[in-house]
Amino acid sequence: MIGYIRYDQDGFLASVGHTDLDAFAHMLATGDRVVALPDDAVGRGSDYFVDTDTLTAEPREPSTAKITGTTITGIAPPALLIARGEITRVEGTIAEVIIDRPGTHVVRLIERTRHPVLFEVTVPPTST
């Protein structure tokens, strides 16, 4: 059995799995974007990302992103920000979370090379 990562055109994780060598060779032959995981990574595929320059699986680092109010800093681009079901692509190191509904919301930051993180954002009620 071989562990693999299937990834999208930007190197973001699409899926992780295990298969036999023949099936993996077939995936490569048919154009799937897949790379083999290191032997010690079996079962931990989401701990890796695909380096699209070398086409190798590399270990993810902890995220260094921080949130102050609704501003997230220290982002390693490219990244995806998910808030209230909306996915926003982040190309820079800073992102503003925009939520128009009062309350406490959980947002998820997915950086390609780092572990995903969750943040809480509180939007105060508007006064009338």
Label residue 4 by pLDDT band (50, 70, 90).
confident
Rounded Cα gap, residues 8 and 6, in angstroms: 7
Domain holding 40, by residue range, is 2-59
> Does one domain contain both 51 and 75?
no
| CA-wise closest residue to 95 among 79, 116, 117, 115 | 79
Average pLDDT, the chain: 88
Cβ-based neighbour number of residue 110 at 10 Å: 18
> Does one domain contain both 53 and 77?
no
DSSP 3-state assignment of 39? helix
> Does one domain contain both 49 and 70?
no
Q: Decide if 70 is inside a domain.
A: yes
Rounded Cα gap, residues 92 and 76, in angstroms: 8
| Cα separations in angstroms, 87 against 38, 45, 108, 113 | 30, 23, 9, 18
Lowest mean pLDDT among 9-23, 42-56, 92-106: 42-56
Task: State the pLDDT at residue 50.
Answer: 84
Number of folded domains that form the chain:
2
Q: What is the mean pLDDT of residues 36-45?
A: 70
Rounded Cα gap, residues 50 and 35, in angstroms: 7
| CA-wise closest residue to 15 among 33, 2, 29 | 33
Query: Taking the model in full, what pTM does it have?
Result: 0.78
Q: What is the mean pLDDT of residues 68-86?
A: 93
